[in-house]
Chain A
Amino acid sequence: MSESLMDLTLHELSELMRARKISSLEVMQAKLARLKEREPQIHAYIRWDEKAAIEEARQRDNVQDHQGSLWGLPIANKDIICVEGVETSCASKILSGYIPPYNATVVERLRGEGAILFGNTNMDEFAMGSSTETSHFGVTRNPWDLTRTPGGSSGGSAAAVAGGLAIAALGTDTGGSIRQPAALCGCVGLKPTYGRVSRYGLIAFASSLDQIGPITQDVEDAALLLEILAGHDSKDSTSLKVEVPRYREHLKKGIRDMKLGLPKEYFISGLDPQVKVAIDEAIKVYTNLGVEVVECQLPYTEYAVATYYVLATAQASSNLARYDGVQYGYRAPNFSNLVDMYFETRSLGFGPEVKRRIILGTYALSSGYYDAYYLKAQKMRTLIRQDFEEAFKKCDAILTPTSPSCAFKIGERMNDPLTMYLSDIFTISANLAGIPGISIPCGFSKEGLPVGLQILGKHFDEATLLRTAYAFEQATDHHKRKPVVR
C-alpha cells in the first residue's frame, strides 16, 4: 500500500497547508492517484471532474494570503447536495442530467473556508436504503471486505473516507444514513441536531428528519467540519438561531464529570454477539476514564421503526412527486398524453425501493387513513422525543451500538426489506427525536469488520457528544486502523 497524503486527516492537512509544507495541487494529485488505484474496486463515487478539481487546486495555491481552515482541501459531496453546475442525481435515473442552478448552503459555507467540493459519492437512490445497493449507478463495496456493503444511504461517502478516497465527506442522515455506514466502514459519522445545519440545497427525502453532517477519519475532523456547517440560515425556516460553539475547543475538556446512559431497550436479542462484545469493551473504556455509566429507559423504542416508516415515506411521497418529467431530469421517451407521461416517466425513472416507499407513504396520507397512520405516528414521535428528554435528566449522553450487525454481504438483504429496515433500528430514534448522534469506531469483529459505537446527546449539545467521542478516541486506536484494499 502506497504512502499518501490521503491517509492524513483534515486537521493534519490543514496544519500542513497553513505552514505551506504542502500545496492543494499535491493533495489533489494524491487523491486522483488513489482514485485510479482503488476506485475501480470500491466504486465510492458516481462522478467527479478531474480537470475542474486540478484547476480549482491551482487557483487555491495561487492565493497568497489564505485564511480558510479548509483551504485547498477536497471534501467529497454526497450526490444529494446541490452544487451549482454539477450534475446531482440522488443516484436516481429520474434526475439524470439534472444540473442545479444554485449551491446548497453547506456548499457555500465549505467554499467560504476554502474547501474544494470534489466528486459526488454514491448512495441509495434518494437516500432510501441502508446498503447503497439501490443506487442507479451500481453498488459501492466496503473497503474492509469488498464482498460486503458499506451500509447506507451515505455508503459512498463512508467507503470513500474509509478507503482513503476522500479526506472527509458530506453525508445526510434521515434514519441513520450517516451513522450506520460510518459504523460499517469504521469512520466517524455525525448527525447534528435537526435544525442545526441548513437543509437548503439538500434534496429532500423526509423533510422533518433529514440532516446534513460530516463523515470523517476522526472526531477532531467532525468537530472542525460541524463548526463550518452549523448555524442558522435565513433560507431554511427550520434551521434554528442557536449559537454555534467552537467545537474543537471543547474536545479536550475531559469527561470525568460525566454520566453516560445505557438504554436497556438497545441491548436486545438480534444484536450480533460480536457487536455486543465490542460495545461492552467500549463501556469499560469509559468506566476506566472515570465516567459514571448508568442504566436508562427509552420505553417507546420498539415503535421507532414503524413510526419512522410512516412519517418518512409519507413525506417522501410528497417530496418526490415533483419528479414528473415536466421541468427537468428524466422524461419517458414514449407516451400518449399527460397522465401517461407521468406514469411512464415515474415507472421508468424510479427504482423499486423508491417506488415501494412512495406507495407506502401515499397510502399513509390517503383520505380515511391519515388519522390511523400519519397522525398517530406524529403522536408517537412526540412520545419518543419525551423518552429522550426523560432519559437526559439522568445522564449527559447515551451510549448504544450504531448498528445491530457489522457490514453485511452485498445482496444479502435486498429481497428482505424488513430486515433491511431493521438495520437502522438503533439510529432512527435520534431522527424522530431530533437529537444529535455520532458513530465512532469502537472495535472489530473476528473477520476484521469495524463496529460502531453510537453516542446520542441532547438537542444542540453536539459539544458534549464530540467531547465524549474524543475522549474515547484518545484512549483507543480503532480509528487509526486502515483497511487493506485489494
Chain B
Amino acid sequence: MDYEPVIGLEVHVQLKTASKLFCGCSTKFGALPNAQVCPVCLGYPGVLPVLNEKALTLAVMAGLAMGSTVALYSKFDRKNYFYPDLPKAYQVSQYDEPICLGGKIDIEVEGTRKEIRLTRIHLEEDAGKSMHFKGDTGVDYNRTGIPLIEIVSEPDLRSPQEAYQYLKELKTILEYLDVSDCNMEEGSLRCDANVSLRPVGEKKMGTRAEIKNLNSFHNVEKAITYEIERQKELLSRGERIVQETRLWNADESFTRSMRSKEAAHDYRYFPEPDLVPIVFSAKEIESVRVSLPELAQRRKERFMKDFALTAYDAEVLTAQKDLADFFERCLKYSKNAKAISNWMMGDLMRELKLKDLGIAQSPMSPEHIAGLIELMDQGKISGKMAKDVFLEMFGTGKSAQEIVSAKGLSQLSDSSQIEGVVKKVIQENPPSVQDYRNGKKNALSYLVGQVMKATQGRANPKMVNELLVKELEK
C-alpha cells in the first residue's frame, strides 16, 4: 500500500529582547550558569511577573507578517508540571486564547508553490537547562523566562523537503522582521515535528508521533525521513503506530521512544492570575502593521523591477536579509546593479563559503565591492585583472584602488602607448599579419594576445583590438 506522510511543525522562536519576558534579567547568550537570574525568574516565594511590552510587540509583528489574526483579547495561562529546570513548577504560556490565530507561510518545492496554514502563534517563557555531571545534576536558570513564541502549523506538510522549505521561509520572515536571531546552535530556534502516515486518498489522519530534539534544519529533514520509513515499516508488517513522543538522536540518525501518550502530563492549564489579559484596539494592531519592515517577497519584486535583476538573482539575494542589505549598501557606491549582483553571488559567496563566513563577517565592505566594479566600468582594469584584484581584496581587506595603485596594475588606456606596442607586434609577427590579410580573421586574436602579453595584460583589450584592426587594414 502507498502511504502519504502528514507533517505538522511546532517551532519555538526566541524573541530578540534585551530582557526576559517577566523580569529585567538579560537574555544575552553565553553567560556563566545562573549569572542572569533574579528572584522573579527563579520563582522565589512572593514574586510576581511583569510583562515585557517589547516581546508583545515582536509577537504581534510575527503574527501580522505571517497573515495571522491578532487577537483583541488574549491571556496567559499556567502550564503546570514538575521539573527541576522549571522553578515555579509551571510555565507561563497561552492555552486557549493565544495572541495570534491562523496565518500562512508560502513555500516552493521543486518549482511548485504551496501554502502552509498556521494554527496559531502564542507567547510563553522558556525553561532552564539541566546539566548532568558525574553523579550529580545542576540547573542553569539563565534561559528561564526568556521570551518565546511558539508557531504551530496545520498538518499541511507532505514531505521532509516541504518541512525543510517551511523552516527556511519561516526563518527568512523572522530575520526580516528582526524579531529573532533564529540561531539554532544557541537555541533561539527549536523545532518539534508531528509525523503520521495515512493511505494515499484517505482523509482521516493516522496516529502521530511527536519528534523532539531536532537541532538543525537538516536534522528536521533527516528525522522526518527516518520517521516516515519507521512508520511505513511498522504498517507494512501490520503493526499499529503508537501515539508517543520520540527523541531524535542526531549522532546515530534514529528516533527512540521517550514517553507514551498514557504517560503524558496533565498540565492542568488555568488562567495566570498574576497577569492581566492582553487587550489591543484595532488601531494599535494597525499601527504595528504599518511599521512592519519590507519582507523578502516584496523586496524580491522590487529588486527585479528597480534593478532589472532576474527572478533567480533577486530570489537568492533576498532569501537572506543581510545579503539583500549588503546588496543595497553596494548600490550607494555604484549604480551597476547587475555587476554587483554577479560579484556577490559568484566570487564573494564562493570565497565566504570557503572560509565558512557569513555575509556579516565579509572582509570586503559594500564600498569595496562597488569600488572594484567602478574601476572596471571606467575601463581602468580588465575583467581578468579584476578577478585577481578581488582575491587580493578579500585576503587583505584593502580597497581595489589601493591594490591597483600599489602594483601599478591599472589598465593601459593611453592609445599612443598601446599604438607603439601594436606596431612592434605587427613587425615581429609577419606570418600572422599575412594570415589576417589573407582573410583568416582569427589570426587577430593571436595578435591581441601578443599585445596583452607585452603589456602584462594591462592594455585595454577593446582598444588593442581597435588599434590592431586599424593598423592591419592600413
Is there an interface contact between A366 and B268, defined as CB atoms closer than 8 Å?
yes
Is there an interface contact between B45 and A322, defined as CB atoms closer than 8 Å?
yes
Question: Counting CB contacts under 8 A, is A334 at the interface?
Answer: no
Q: Which of A28-36, A93-101, A139-147 contacts B (4 or more CB under 8 A)?
A: A93-101
Q: What residues of A have a CB within 8 angstroms of the CB of B343 in the complex?
A: none
The 8 A CB mask of B264-299 against A (1 = contact, 0 = none) is 001111100111100000000000000000000000
- A201, A234, A314, A365: the one contacting B46 at CB < 8 Å is A201
Q: Which of B47-64 contact A (CB under 8 A)?
A: 47-51
Question: Counting CB contacts under 8 A, is B90 at the interface?
Answer: yes
**Distance in angstroms between the alpha carbons of A100 and B40 in the assembled complex:** 12
Question: Counting CB contacts under 8 A, is B467 at the interface?
Answer: no
Question: Counting CB contacts under 8 A, is A199 at the interface?
Answer: yes
Question: Counting CB contacts under 8 A, is A116 at the interface?
Answer: no
**Distance in angstroms between the alpha carbons of A208 and B39 in the assembled complex:** 21
Question: Counting CB contacts under 8 A, is B44 at the interface?
Answer: yes
A-B CB contact pairs (8 Å), 18 listed: A88-B45, A90-B45, A101-B44, A201-B46, A203-B45, A203-B46, A207-B273, A237-B50, A238-B273, A238-B275, A315-B270, A318-B78, A318-B270, A321-B90, A324-B89, A327-B87, A365-B268, A366-B268
Question: Counting CB contacts under 8 A, is B29 at the interface?
Answer: no
Q: What residues of B have a CB within 8 angstroms of the CB of A328 in the complex?
A: 44
Closest chain B residue to A103, Cβ basis: B46
Closest chain B residue to A210, Cβ basis: B273
Closest beta carbon of chain A to B434's beta carbon, Å: 95
Q: What residues of B have a CB within 8 angstroms of the CB of A315 in the complex?
A: 270, 273
Question: Counting CB contacts under 8 A, is A235 at the interface?
Answer: yes
Of listed A235, A314, A326, A367, residue having the most chain B CB within 10 A = A326
Closest chain B residue to A202, Cβ basis: B46
Q: Which of A264-289 contact B (CB under 8 A)?
A: none
Q: What residues of A have a CB within 8 angstroms of the CB of B82 in the complex?
A: 321, 324, 342
Is there an interface contact between A200 and B47, defined as CB atoms closer than 8 Å?
yes
Is there an interface contact between A199 and B45, defined as CB atoms closer than 8 Å?
no
Closest beta carbon of chain A to B41's beta carbon, Å: 12
Question: Counting CB contacts under 8 A, is B102 at the interface?
Answer: no
Q: What residues of A have a CB within 8 angstroms of the CB of B363 in the complex?
A: none
Question: Counting CB contacts under 8 A, is B67 at the interface?
Answer: no
Is there an interface contact between B268 and A367, defined as CB atoms closer than 8 Å?
yes
**Distance in angstroms between the alpha carbons of A326 and B85 in the assembled complex:** 9
With contacts A366-B268, A374-B270 known, what are 5 further pairs, Cβ within 8 A? A208-B273, A237-B50, A238-B273, A322-B43, A365-B80
Closest beta carbon of chain A to B44's beta carbon, Å: 7
Is there an interface contact between A318 and B275, defined as CB atoms closer than 8 Å?
no
Q: Given A207-B274, A342-B82, A365-B268, decide whether A321 and B46 contact each other with a Cβ distance below 8 A.
A: no
The 8 A CB mask of A306-327 against B (1 = contact, 0 = none) is 0000000011011001101011
Closest beta carbon of chain A to B182's beta carbon, Å: 30
**Distance in angstroms between the alpha carbons of A296 and B87 in the assembled complex:** 47
Q: What residues of B have a CB within 8 angstroms of the CB of A199 in the complex?
A: 48
Q: Given A318-B268, A366-B268, decide whether A200 and B88 contact each other with a Cβ distance below 8 A.
A: no
Question: Counting CB contacts under 8 A, is A82 at the interface?
Answer: yes
Question: Counting CB contacts under 8 A, is B206 at the interface?
Answer: no
Is there an interface contact between A314 and B274, defined as CB atoms closer than 8 Å?
no
Q: Which of A48-105 contact B (CB under 8 A)?
A: 81-82, 88, 90, 95, 98, 100-102, 104
Closest beta carbon of chain B to A77's beta carbon, Å: 12
**Distance in angstroms between the alpha carbons of A238 and B42 in the assembled complex:** 20
Closest beta carbon of chain B to A229's beta carbon, Å: 15
Closest chain A residue to B23, Cβ basis: A235
Residues of A near any B CB (own CB < 8 A)? 81-82, 88, 90, 95, 98, 100-102, 104, 199-204, 206-208, 234-238, 314-315, 317-318, 321-322, 324, 326-328, 338, 342, 362, 365-367, 370, 374
Q: Given A321-B82, A342-B82, decide whether A200 and B48 contact each other with a Cβ distance below 8 A.
A: yes
Is there an interface contact between B266 and A100, defined as CB atoms closer than 8 Å?
no
Pick the 10 closest A-B CB pairs, nearest first.
A321-B89, A365-B268, A207-B273, A208-B273, A203-B45, A201-B46, A203-B46, A367-B266, A82-B46, A322-B89
Closest chain A residue to B89, Cβ basis: A321
A-B contact count (CB 8 A): 99
**Distance in angstroms between the alpha carbons of A102 and B90 in the assembled complex:** 22
Is there an interface contact between A234 and B270, defined as CB atoms closer than 8 Å?
no
Question: Counting CB contacts under 8 A, is B139 at the interface?
Answer: yes
Q: Given A207-B273, A208-B273, A237-B274, decide whether A322 and B88 contact each other with a Cβ distance below 8 A.
A: yes
**Distance in angstroms between the alpha carbons of A236 and B47 in the assembled complex:** 9
Closest chain B residue to A207, Cβ basis: B273
Judged by DSSP, the binding face of B is loop
Closest chain A residue to B40, Cβ basis: A235
**Distance in angstroms between the alpha carbons of A82 and B44 in the assembled complex:** 10
Is there an interface contact between A237 and B273, defined as CB atoms closer than 8 Å?
no
Question: Counting CB contacts under 8 A, is B84 at the interface?
Answer: yes
- A208, A234, A314: the one contacting B50 at CB < 8 Å is A234
**Distance in angstroms between the alpha carbons of A101 and B49 in the assembled complex:** 17
**Distance in angstroms between the alpha carbons of A238 and B48 in the assembled complex:** 9
Is there an interface contact between B46 and A322, defined as CB atoms closer than 8 Å?
no
Q: What residues of B have a CB within 8 angstroms of the CB of A324 in the complex?
A: 82, 84, 89
**Distance in angstroms between the alpha carbons of A200 and B80 in the assembled complex:** 22
Is there an interface contact between B88 and A321, defined as CB atoms closer than 8 Å?
yes
Q: Which of B70-92 contact A (CB under 8 A)?
A: 78, 80, 82, 84, 87-90
Is there an interface contact between A237 and B49, defined as CB atoms closer than 8 Å?
yes
Is there an interface contact between B45 and A235, defined as CB atoms closer than 8 Å?
no
- B39, B48, B88: the one contacting A101 at CB < 8 Å is B39
Q: Which of B129-151 contact A (CB under 8 A)?
A: 137, 139
Is there an interface contact between B43 and A100, defined as CB atoms closer than 8 Å?
no
**Distance in angstroms between the alpha carbons of A3 and B270 in the assembled complex:** 54
Is there an interface contact between B275 and A237, defined as CB atoms closer than 8 Å?
yes
Of listed A199, A237, A362, residue having the most chain B CB within 10 A = A237
Is there an interface contact between A98 and B90, defined as CB atoms closer than 8 Å?
no
Q: What residues of B have a CB within 8 angstroms of the CB of A362 in the complex?
A: 268
Closest beta carbon of chain A to B35's beta carbon, Å: 15
Is there an interface contact between B89 and A370, defined as CB atoms closer than 8 Å?
no
Q: What residues of B have a CB within 8 angstroms of the CB of A207 in the complex?
A: 273-274
Of listed B47, B50, B88, B269, residue having the most chain A CB within 10 A = B47
Q: What residues of A have a CB within 8 angstroms of the CB of B270 in the complex?
A: 314-315, 318, 365, 370, 374
Is there an interface contact between A100 and B44, defined as CB atoms closer than 8 Å?
yes
Q: What residues of B have a CB within 8 angstroms of the CB of A104 in the complex?
A: 46
Is there an interface contact between A321 and B48, defined as CB atoms closer than 8 Å?
no
Closest beta carbon of chain A to B358's beta carbon, Å: 39
**Distance in angstroms between the alpha carbons of A100 and B276 in the assembled complex:** 26
Closest beta carbon of chain A to B137's beta carbon, Å: 8
Closest chain A residue to B78, Cβ basis: A318
Is there an interface contact between B275 and A322, defined as CB atoms closer than 8 Å?
no
Closest chain A residue to B141, Cβ basis: A327
Q: What residues of B have a CB within 8 angstroms of the CB of A236 in the complex?
A: 48, 50
**Distance in angstroms between the alpha carbons of A82 and B46 in the assembled complex:** 7
Is there an interface contact between A318 and B90, defined as CB atoms closer than 8 Å?
yes
Is there an interface contact between A318 and B80, defined as CB atoms closer than 8 Å?
yes
Of listed B39, B43, B45, B51, residue having the most chain A CB within 10 A = B45
Q: What residues of A have a CB within 8 angstroms of the CB of B88 in the complex?
A: 321-322
Closest beta carbon of chain A to B56's beta carbon, Å: 13
Closest chain A residue to B275, Cβ basis: A237
Q: What residues of A have a CB within 8 angstroms of the CB of B139 in the complex?
A: 326
Q: What residues of B have a CB within 8 angstroms of the CB of A102 in the complex?
A: 39, 44, 47
Q: What residues of B have a CB within 8 angstroms of the CB of A234 in the complex?
A: 50
**Distance in angstroms between the alpha carbons of A370 and B45 in the assembled complex:** 26
Q: What residues of B have a CB within 8 angstroms of the CB of A81 in the complex?
A: 46
**Distance in angstroms between the alpha carbons of A317 and B274 in the assembled complex:** 15
Q: Given A95-B45, A207-B273, A318-B78, decide whether A235 and B89 contact each other with a Cβ distance below 8 A.
A: no
Q: Given A88-B45, A237-B274, A370-B270, decide whether A338 and B84 contact each other with a Cβ distance below 8 A.
A: yes
Is there an interface contact between B87 and A322, defined as CB atoms closer than 8 Å?
yes
**Distance in angstroms between the alpha carbons of A22 and B48 in the assembled complex:** 39
- B50, B80, B84, B275: the one contacting A326 at CB < 8 Å is B84
Closest chain B residue to A328, Cβ basis: B44
Closest chain A residue to B22, Cβ basis: A237
Is there an interface contact between B87 and A238, defined as CB atoms closer than 8 Å?
no
Q: What residues of B have a CB within 8 angstroms of the CB of A235 in the complex?
A: 48, 50
